[in-house]
Amino acid sequence: MAAESSEVSPLVLTSKELKSSANWAGRLLFEYVIRLVLLVCALVSIFTTVAIIVVLVEEALAFFREVGLASFFLDTQWTPVFVNKHYGIWPLVSGTMMTSVIALMVALPLGLMSAIYLSEYASPRMRSILKPILEILAGVPTVVYGYFALLFVTPILQKIIPNLAGFNAISPGVVMGIMILPLVASLSEDALHTVPHSIREAAYGLGATKMEVATQVVVPAALSGIAASFILAVSRAVGETMIVAVAAGQRPVLTFDPRGPIQTMTAYIVQISLGDTPVNSLEYRTLFAVGFMLFLITLVLNLISDAVVRRYREQY
Amino acid sequence: MDGSSMWQEVSRNLRWRRGKGYLFEALGLISILVGLFVLFLLFYDVMRDGLPRLIPCRGQAAFPFFQCDLSVTVKFLTSFPSRRPEEAGIASALVGSVYMIGVMMLFSFPIGIGAGIYLEEYAPKNRLTHLIQISLANLAGVPSIIYGLLGLQLFVRALYNITGGRSVLSGALTMALLVMPLIVIATREAIRAVPDEIRQASLALGATRWQTVWHHILPYAMPGILTGAILAVSRAIGETAPLITIGALTFVAFLPEGLRSPFTVLPIQIFNWVSRPQPEFAHAAAAGIVVLLVILLSMNATAIYLRNRFERRW
């Protein structure tokens, strides 16, 4: 053994070994270049984040220089495309809130119950069938949901709810809720799934029924993950665009009546984008002011969701 | 209280608790079924409105394909949009979608997979890496329409000389940024699933980092990466809002001639038709939706097949 090892590490290099060490240097250079290229790929994400912030802030600042923060936050009318222009953001915020709240009223209870069923009750075989089908719901393009809300759900709801307009907040809200359901179900189920079996068995040992174990032991133990999924659902609802652009109408009014047409922040951006808005006009800049608000809201929600998971995660 | 009445009390109590439990289980099942039922309704509604426009059939449904007029289908797929709904087709939208997605893949796949490899195999634990991870997590939660605003300022306006404004290239670049986080996440998960022994064995035999990644890690991670990439592409195919924001057109009666040509895509064409009051346009929209859903479902099926066929358990 000793003789062999002295043979492979001689003090004087042969010509063959010199050549291979030159190869080695070339290879190291190649490795270095590859590493650099990969780093640049990863840096694209930072670039994108920075670019989003710069673009939104730059144009929003130009907007606020002309309009002023006071009228943006204190005015109650949003009429940038009319002759008599007002720039109060609240009608768009109230429209967004209404559709989002309706969506969450559908998505949160159904999503959580689905998650509990999948995690606690369904057999593995049933789970392997139900889950992928549920995920198809999340893969349907939102413009298709918009079609469904406008031409299928609204006519049905009009038979049930009196005075429901053709464009309203209820129908896109409900359909959006169904769209978000798989997100809530799948993230909450992941959270429920990580609760260890020993805890469940301890509760059974104390005489709890299956439902009592689920609601009083497993759900509380997974609460941070469930809460995070709820907050992500809110963020998704606020940022959803095509369903509301198709089915909620284009009338920014400060109201809490979901039966009439309203306009959300996202639908406003779509409306202006479809028209021929001259670049650098105030109207063009409203896009970015509204976009900036939207970005801030979703960013805060995403950060809270992240913090909840980090802060309250139970470690087993 | 004597023993037998106490026992009765307990068993009554238990019956009540169990009864509540069954109700609860039923509620859970109903919740899932509501989701599935709506999915069924959605498909039913779209097919009912769209199939007669896409593949009109005579007579009963017993032998549909023998009595169907496939020339209408071909005409719908190969005609340009029109003011007359019965003549309208999706040729420019279909070609625009395929063209834009193709260009998008050229950008998003190498960059997304490269970033994933860097984060899993190379990245040191430092501030920069942390920053990259925070950006990625944040980007995955940004509403898609915000990407549209970014694309509008960055690609349509600032890089006008390269992209030619509201063009295929601008759309593809915007969508590439949008789906990149998805591809990075899929790549990282696929690479993480490859056991460390393979990495160590390769390094121990004198392979360099990149040789290890290229010859040993990537081949094993490829099915997972591909699955994620297909899902990212299917997301991009259905995405509408950012492309409206960057100004893809809603009425295009020509095929895109190059990267700098104006364009439209299938979801925007559908949106345009849905927005019109005439029911004939709604039927054209439904027919377009059927085509879109067929494309998406077959892509998802491919992804699931790939995952099941090539997935390795270690």
Chain A residues in contact with B110 by the CB 8 A cut-off are 41
Q: What does the buried/exposed string (b/e) look like for B159-189 if buried means 16 or more CB atoms within 10 Å of the residue's CB?
A: eeeebbbbbbbbbbbbbbbbbbbbbbbbbbb
For residue A42, the distance in angstroms to the closest alpha carbon of chain B comes to 4
Map tokens 């004939």 to a residue: B280
pLDDT at position B25 over 90: yes
pLDDT band at B60 (very low <50, low <70, confident <90, very high): low
**Are residues B46 and A246, on separate chains, in Cβ contact within 8 Å?**
no
CATH 1.10.3720.10 fits A90-312, yes or no: yes
pLDDT at A157: 95
Spatial CA neighbour of B53 closest among B79, B32, B18, B29:
B79
pLDDT at A316: 64
pLDDT at A5: 45
pLDDT at A2: 43
Selected for mutation to probe chain B from A8, A27, A37, A41 (highest B CB count within 10 Å) is: A41
Summarised one tens digit per residue, pLDDT across range A259-291 is: 999 999 999 999 999 887 888 888 899 999 999
Which pair of tokens denotes residue A275?
A: 């028209």
Rg (CA), chain A: 28
A5-14, A295-304, B100-109, B253-262 — which is least confidently predicted? A5-14
Summarised one tens digit per residue, pLDDT across range A177-235 is: 999 999 999 999 999 999 999 999 999 999 999 999 999 999 999 999 999 999 999 99
pLDDT at position B16 over 80: yes
A24-33, B123-132, B282-291 — which is least confidently predicted? A24-33
Q: Is B182 on the interface with A (CB under 8 A)?
A: no
For residue B67, the 8-state DSSP code is: G
pLDDT band at A18 (very low <50, low <70, confident <90, very high): low
Spatial CA neighbour of B274 closest among A141, A137, A260, A143:
A143
CATH of B91-310, one of 1.10.10.410, 1.10.3720.10, 1.10.3330.10, 3.40.50.1580: 1.10.3720.10
A303 or B115, which is more confident: B115
Percentage above 90 pLDDT, chain A: 66
pLDDT at B57: 79
Q: What is the dihedral angle through the alpha carbons of A300, A302, A304, A307, rounded to the nearest 10 degrees?
A: -140
ipTM (interface predicted TM): 0.91
Candidate from A39, A45, A295 with C-beta closest to B136 = A45
In the chain, the amino acid numbered B151 is: G
Task: Sort A201 into a burial class: Cβ within 10 Å, 0-12 / 13-18 / 19+.
Answer: exposed
- Rounded CA-CA distance A180/A236 in Å is 7
Candidate from A41, A181, A185 with C-beta closest to B111 = A41
pLDDT at A103: 97
Residue extents of the structural domains in chain A: 14-67, 90-312
Mean pLDDT value of segment B78-100: 90
Candidate from B28, B39, B231 with C-beta closest to A114 = B28
Residues of A numbered 252-271 whose beta carbons fall under 8 angstroms of chain B's beta carbons: which are they?
266, 269-270
**Are residues B300 and A139, on separate chains, in Cβ contact within 8 Å?**
yes
Candidate from A42, A121, A181 with C-beta closest to B118 = A42
B91-100, B160-169, B302-311 — which is least confidently predicted? B302-311
Summarised one tens digit per residue, pLDDT across range B232-252 is: 999 999 999 999 999 887 778
C-alpha count within 13 angstroms, C-beta hemisphere, residue A283:
17
Map tokens 């109408």 to a residue: A249
Residues of B numbered 73-102 whose beta carbons fall under 8 angstroms of chain A's beta carbons: which are they?
none
**Are residues B115 and A152, on separate chains, in Cβ contact within 8 Å?**
no
Mean pLDDT value of segment B140-168: 92
Residue extents of the structural domains in chain B: 91-310
Which pair of tokens denotes residue B249?
A: 């057109």
Residues of A numbered 81-140 whose beta carbons fall under 8 angstroms of chain B's beta carbons: which are they?
109-111, 113-114, 116-118, 120-121, 130, 132-134, 136-137, 139-140
